[in-house]
Every structure is written in structure tokens, then in C-alpha cells.
Amino acid sequence: MRRVRIESVGVSPPRRGFFRWGALKHTVEAGKRCLAASKYRPADVRVLVNAGVHRDGHVCEPAIACYVQHALDINVDFHGRRTLSFDLLNGSVGLLSAAHVVSAQMLAGEAAVGMVVAGEANSDRRPDAESTFPASGAAMLLDLSPTAGAGFGAFAFDTREERADLYTAVVSLKEPRGKLLIRRRAELEEAWLEGASSAAAEALERDGLTPADLDLVVPAQISPAFLSRLPTALGVAKERVADYTATLPDTLTTSFVLALDRARTEGALPPGKRALLLAFGSGVTVGAATYRS
């Protein structure tokens, strides 16, 4: 059975300096870098999904994916080709959910090339102390793998609705422009670890794998303490978990893609290696996907 692979990755990492970039600019920059690293042209992208949650000015609509499509010049004039673009929100698990949806479309023959993007930024002039995070962007271009067995294997998502209050994010309208309020309770990481164990086990079973078959686990870079506990929850050796928290902070939706880009750049995922991608979000939800490079 054919698989969908990550043909190229583009990231717009957190910036230093006085001038801040918003979520949309980070998203577009990541998309441009993704296309620059790809063999495909913008016109080849037939489906574009944006999964960013925290948006510039806290806007709700229209779909941010439409703005990204226009900025990347992806079939905006309908000259013989059309691109379906839409937003998909699933907290910080959104990019993995988007990859799952686009993969299903491609395997069904509805598209040959797709792109998933996200950007995260708190646009408040005076951000709430508990609601700050580094702004960033990430993009992945997907196509049908030309190599047998390479690409995404199985996806699994574990949601524990009864614990949804452990992680909340709302925009308070007590201020004229709104104010982002993110709250994470102390028990959240424990819930994520439980979810990771369940989601990973399900994804591995669907792909006919065991934890021992994994060469690398690429998780969202939640924190050094969290990643130090993840190997036990997954049943893998500590050295098989990609930990870049010394230089790569948690960037919410984009985090696991920034970590994946780092792993690919450093040669940690050469051809043939098996990886497990992990994303953690509200809900409380954990997403897992097996991937062979």
C-alpha cells in the first residue's frame, strides 16, 4: 500500500529583536521556505490546510488558509487549476490532524500534493503573564511516496474530555481588542503522559510495530522535565527521544515540526529510519503518528 510522505519542511523559528512577527507572517515565511526546499511549484499544491490556533488580532474568520494561499501564490487566479484551502483547529495537535486529513485525501486520489501550515503568536500588546509563548511558523509539503514503505504509517489520537479543564485558552473581551488567557493546571503533563502512552500504543499496533522498532521519537518540546518522563511512558530508551529544549522552546502547534526539522537537519532521520511523531494539546488530546523516513 502506498504511503504519504513529508516531501519538504519549512520552519520560521522564534525571532530575537525588537520587531515582532505575527502568526500570519510566520506561517507565510514557513510556507515559502517549504516550497523553496521542494521539487514542486506552488501551482502543484491542490489542498492547503492551516492549523494555527492563536491568530493576529484574535480574528475568527475568514479562513487564514485563504490568506496563506494568496501570499504563496497558490492557484489564486484559477488558471486551469484549483486549490482547496481551509482551516482545521484541534489545539496544538492541529498540524498532526491536518497531516492525517490531507493524507487521507491523497490516498483516496483526491489530490497528489498537499501542504499543511501553522503559525502561532500572541498579538496582545501587553500579554498576560501566563499566556506568553515564542511566535513561530511551520509547514510540511506532502506527496505520495515514491519509495515503498516510506512515509506516514498510522495515526492515533487520544482525547480525555473529562480532563479538558486542565488546559484552557480563551480570548477575554473585557478589553477592547481582546486578551488571550491560557491556563495550564499542574496535572496537565501527567494527563499528557497517559495520553501519549495510549496514542503511541495504538499507532504502533496499527502499523505492526513495537516500541523497540522505533529509532527516534520526535515530540513537541514541552519542557525538559516532561521529555525526561516521556521514555518511561512510551517504553523506549531515553536516547531515542529527540530533546532540543535547550535551544528550542515549546511553540505550541508548530513545536513537533520544528523538532522534526532539527532532527532531519542534524541527520538523525536518514532513509529507512522509523520515527514516532507526538503532539500535545487541549482537549486533553495527544496525537501520534508513525513515520518511516
Which CATH number characterizes residue 258's domain? 3.40.47.10
Q: Are residues 62 and 156 in the same domain?
A: no
Q: What is the pLDDT of residue 88?
A: 97
Q: What is the pLDDT of residue 60?
A: 83
Cα(287)–Cα(192) distance, integer angstroms? 10
Q: Are residues 178 and 257 in the same domain?
A: yes
Boundary of a domain, candidates 122, 148, 174: 148
Q: Are residues 100 and 197 in the same domain?
A: no
Considering its fold, how many domains does the chain have in total? 2
Boundary of a domain, candidates 93, 116, 148: 148
C-alpha cell at 247: 535551544
* Parent domain of 215: 152-292
Mean pLDDT for each consecutive 10-residue tract of the chain (293 residues)? 95 87 97 98 97 93 93 85 94 98 97 98 94 97 96 98 96 91 97 98 98 98 98 98 97 98 97 97 97 97
Q: Are residues 78 and 208 in the same domain?
A: no
Q: What is the pLDDT of residue 186?
A: 94
Q: What is the pLDDT of residue 79?
A: 65
Q: For the whole prediction, is pTM greater than 0.85?
A: yes
Q: Are residues 275 and 158 in the same domain?
A: yes
Cα Rg, the chain, nearest whole Å = 18
Q: Are residues 74 and 183 in the same domain?
A: no
Boundary of a domain, candidates 113, 133, 148: 148
Q: Are residues 129 and 247 in the same domain?
A: no
Q: Are residues 70 and 129 in the same domain?
A: yes
